Structure 1
Amino acid sequence: MDINSLSKKLLFNTVRVDTVMEDGSEGSGTAFVVSHAHRRGTHTFIVTNRHLVDGVREGGLVFTQKHNGQPVLGQRFQLNIEDFPHAWFTHPNPDIDLAIVPMRPLEQAARDQGVELYYHVIDSRLAPDAATLRGLDALEEVLFIGYPSGVWDHVNLMPIMRRGTTATPMALNFEGRAEFLIDAAVYPGSSGSPVFVYQPDVLRPNQSRKFLFAGVIAAVFFREEANQLVPGPVPPQQNGVVMGSEMIDLGLVIKSAAVIEVIEAYLTKWLE
């Protein structure tokens, strides 16, 4: 497969997160790679949800290997991280469900084992600013990528692409928080999935008319009682267990500005 389009590159933006919890249960979720230009250079991070790394006994990130600059489809490399929860830097606001880890030491650890990692980054400059958000319509098409219900093409190491629409205007902060809702099928394992406003150009398949890094999936709405809807963190997929509460296909997305905030907080702490 030639990696010659935006959507193909997005297949290599995500990283599968495999975890073992303190109680011994296994789970999986989603992370993705972001680059951010700072006054001291451009830095690359893996981003996921805080709730995916808290309480984890063992954790690993699954990558595709690289050879001669190209992906070796199906050639898996799992990078296990010691003391997994403490390797992550979390957003300084404990109410914002984000965690990051710098990419450089992970790549070095892979090289030490004779492995090159293949991935594509999302440039943080694709995050919409306030003016761009005001220019968006109330209803926009969105694309998100990850491992819903733990499903993926484990032979080729490909994630699952899913589409939906915004369910609340991105220009507004849902319930007063820097979040918005999407009307899409969000399931366990979708935690940490990157969300994009994506409008492909049908006349030019390799181009898009609109492409923005919108945010990160963090929660889904459950129907617990006949007239009660509650948002809850999207849990990691755990060994095919089906959850009892009914999910209603409304996902909560943390806006991408919060990803920039946690990266800036990390760089301020460690580089300045």
Structure 2
Amino acid sequence: MAWDLSVDLIKATVQLEQPLGNGTRTVGTGFLIDAPTPDGKPRTVLVTAAHVFDRMPSVEARIGYRIQNSDGAWRYDPRPLTIRDEAKAPIWTRHPTRDVAAIVIQAPEEFAKAAIPLSWLAQDDTFTQYALGPGDEMMALGFPRGLAANQAGFPILRSGRVASYPLAPSSVFPTFLLDFSVFPGNSGGPVFMAEGARRRPGATEAQEVQFVAGMLTQQVELSGERLEIGIVTHARFIRETVAMIDGVIPPAAPTPDLPATSTTAASTGTHTEP
């Protein structure tokens, strides 16, 4: 039976928020990764866009867990998440050149089980391996303007077409464009490929193509106008950020993002409390 990456990622994706004390809150998206320690001990890592945490000045944020009751119904159960020390210094790990952050968390057992394996994130050659390019459809999960799919707090699933070329290598093209509307609250959400049947170059049979391509980190703006194009940071940099928790230093910084003529704006934002 085919596995469903969409459902697995929905379960692993959470809303991140922090009240700002004036009736508003800042909201973003994150997702959980199962990333064991070097000695094999289980470990759950939350990843999101670094600017999501940057815009949360207090020591604690809230992470939007969902709990399934004995009758099968789900309820939203946000819990405190410490993101800064007592001096309000960040305790998350930040990638040195990309808008990616990672932090080890103690998730409820149900959520620890929902964390996706690190191996599901695209490798540097994944796009080339499957001949992915402009026009291919990818999915994105998030909480646009803090909106969830339902009262249980599940993320909203949307789709868009790859809008840039080429996609590899990530050392030269660390981000790519996705044609869909980006809203405050989408930052940090996973972008993934979930195609039921695709024939690789030179192959005679079609196969499933399912992997996490990257993380939504920005939107494209030009002269103050939103172009309804999202900027996706390659999964390679999520992998590198998780590895940094264990002291692994990423390789030298890649070249600047493209297109160079566009300005970009962070897609997290401030929202009125419901």
The answer to whether the superposition gives a TM-score over 0.5 is yes
Alignment map for 1:1-272 (pairs within 5 Å): 5-21=4-20, 25-37=24-36, 39-41=38-40, 42-58=42-58, 59-66=61-68, 72-81=73-82, 83=84, 86-91=90-95, 93=96, 95-103=97-105, 106-107=106-107, 117=111, 120-135=114-129, 136-139=131-134, 140-168=136-164, 169-173=166-170, 176-200=172-196, 209-224=208-223, 245-268=224-247
Alpha-carbon separation, structure 1, partners of 2:210 and 2:57: 37
**252 and 85 in structure 1: CA distance in 2 versus 1, 3 angstrom threshold:** farther
Percent of matched pairs sharing the same residue: 22
Superposed CA deviations along residues 153-182 of structure 1, whole A, max 9, x for unmatched, are: 3512111000012112322449x4411111
Give ranges in structure 1 of 5+ residues lacking alignment: 202-207, 225-244
Q: Which runs of 4 or more aligned residues in structure 1 lie more than 4 Å from their structure 2 counterparts after TM superposition?
A: 21-25, 116-119
Superposed CA deviations along residues 75-110 of structure 1, whole A, max 9, x for unmatched, are: 42322426376231211x1x311111112xx33xx6
Query: What amino acid sits opposite 2:13 in the alignment?
Result: T
Alpha-carbon separation, structure 1, partners of 2:113 and 2:188: 17
Alpha-carbon separation, structure 1, partners of 2:92 and 2:83: 11
Structure with greater strand share of residues: 1
TM-score by length of structure 1 reads: 0.73
Aligned length: 229
Alpha-carbon separation, structure 2, partners of 1:184 and 1:24: 30
Query: What amino acid sits opposite 1:155 in the alignment?
Result: Q
Partner of 2:265: none
Alpha-carbon separation, structure 1, partners of 2:196 and 2:126: 18
CA RMSD of aligned residues (A): 3.0
Structure with greater helix share of residues: 1
Alpha-carbon separation, structure 2, partners of 1:151 and 1:25: 14
Alpha-carbon separation, structure 2, partners of 1:39 and 1:78: 28
Query: What amino acid sits opposite 2:99 in the alignment?
Result: D
Give ranges in structure 2 of 5+ residues lacking alignment: 198-206, 249-274
Alpha-carbon separation, structure 2, partners of 1:10 and 1:251: 19
